[in-house]
Amino acid sequence: MAQQETDEQISVDDEGFLVDTEDCEAREAAYRERGTSRPITVVGNPVLHKECKDVTAFDGELARLIDDMFASQRTAEGVGLAANQIGVDLKVFVYDCMDDDGVRHVGAICNPVLEELPPGERVLDDANEGCLSVPTAYAGLARPDYAVVRGQDAEGNPVRVRGNGYFARCLQHETDHLYGYLYIDRLSKRDRKDALRQMAEGTPRYEVVPND
């Protein structure tokens, strides 16, 4: 238990932003090696289509969930994973993602809320997006190229996370998950239908939970 606390201790800067760019390799490995990989839930599973419950207990059970999420994320070769993507109805996501400056970010956020950007700071990036819960499918989706998420860390301390480019997309994508939205819900009907067709025709490279 003491070793776990040491591994997961992350500081914040003077503005309250999580310092998630230090010791990324060691921290991700520590989470993952303690965890157990779980299969990924896919579109159609009810847990993905409703707002998740707030995290209220910042305890060993939450720590074990986060470990399992990192293990599951690595197995599926993802850059972000929300708890409901492994069937758990809680507002928490993990990430291991590069930003557009080539900087790696690793962390976990509970009860995330996406901060609204002033209009002058909203620069849209129209790029391909995919999702572990919509395996083998991709579609273009415009999102702001900068994002700030506020929430709590695994001990319940208030934190903020910020990112640009691909990492900003990841933060928005994973926060969406915890409020019951998949990226395909933001597509036109035509593009959503095409993404689901891609999924139906593809074969996931990781274990998924079949929808009965």
Catalytically active residues, by annotation: 174
Nearest to 159 by CA among 18, 45, 37, 55: 18
Strand boundaries in 70-210, DSSP class E: 80-82, 92-98, 104-114, 124-130, 138-144, 146-152, 158-164, 208-209
CB 136 within 8 A of CB 202: yes
Strands (E), the chain: 40-41, 80-82, 92-98, 104-114, 124-130, 138-144, 146-152, 158-164, 208-209
C-alpha to C-alpha distance for 92 and 122, rounded to whole angstroms: 25
Give dist(CA 136, CA 42) in Å, integer.
11
- Whose tokens are 């998924």? That residue is 208
